Amino acid sequence: SSDGNTYRISEQDLGSKPNVTDNGQEIVYIGADSRMHYVFVDYSGAEPVYNDFVLESTPQWSYAAFSKDGSKLAAVRNVDENILFVYDFVSERWQEFELFNPSYTEGIATGEVRYADVLEWDYSGEFIMYDAFNNLFSNDGRDISFWDIGFIKVWDKQRNDFTDGSDIQKLFTALDEGISVGNPSFSKNSPYIIAFDYIDDSGNYLVAANLESGDANII
């Protein structure tokens, strides 16, 4: 605020990081009560006014994110499932998408997606970037768990409708055992620069990557 004070915009404690539309007017977050909360910010006065509502009252959510223009919403529930929910505010429809690990060798399975966590829409409003917890069994029968980052196309702008969810790509087509990546976020100034956490036996690193060139470096 102009007087330098910090104001609490909601009485609800956070259960997930708030997600804000590009114009800064709409905020969605999951509260400590596992409900989906919505804040509309009115900037017409001398100081912003924060109007807080419950957007979806079922206590089942773990993360939610608006598309950049606020026309769509993506969310995942706080249960062990590989389902992503997307809502289109224009058509007032929900669509469910099954998350899977694409095989880059025909006929070869690459392990199961257990559940997704962090979600973020790309700037086109067609793709959602997410991190997911996975399980697979090695050739010697060991149960291996890891986090990775995927991109799913959920909206087709030409058709102005949901996709069938079959277009899923991974940031890395294969990760060595003991390595996880997660908590991805797009740059504010570029549609193809992202940052994410890289975790291995030596520690946790913040990495920036260029999706067009494939270059990646530790920050």
pLDDT per residue of the chain (219 residues) written in tens, 0 to 9: 455 556 677 778 999 999 999 999 999 999 999 999 999 999 999 888 899 999 999 999 999 999 999 999 999 999 999 999 999 999 999 999 999 988 654 444 456 899 999 999 999 999 999 999 998 766 666 778 999 999 999 999 999 999 999 999 999 988 888 999 999 999 988 999 999 999 999 999 999 999 999 999 998
Q: Any bridge partners for residue 153, and if so which?
A: 127
Selection from 102, 115, 122 nearest residue 168 by Cα: 102
170/123 Cα distance (integer angstroms) = 18
Task: Report the pLDDT value the prediction gives residue 139, as an integer from 0 to 100.
Answer: 66
Task: Report the pLDDT value the prediction gives residue 105, as an integer from 0 to 100.
Answer: 47
Task: Report the pLDDT value the prediction gives residue 81, as an integer from 0 to 100.
Answer: 97
DSSP code of residue 214: -
| Residue 27 to residues 22, 39, 89, 163, Cα–Cα distance (Å) | 10, 5, 15, 25
Task: Report the pLDDT value the prediction gives residue 3, as an integer from 0 to 100.
Answer: 54
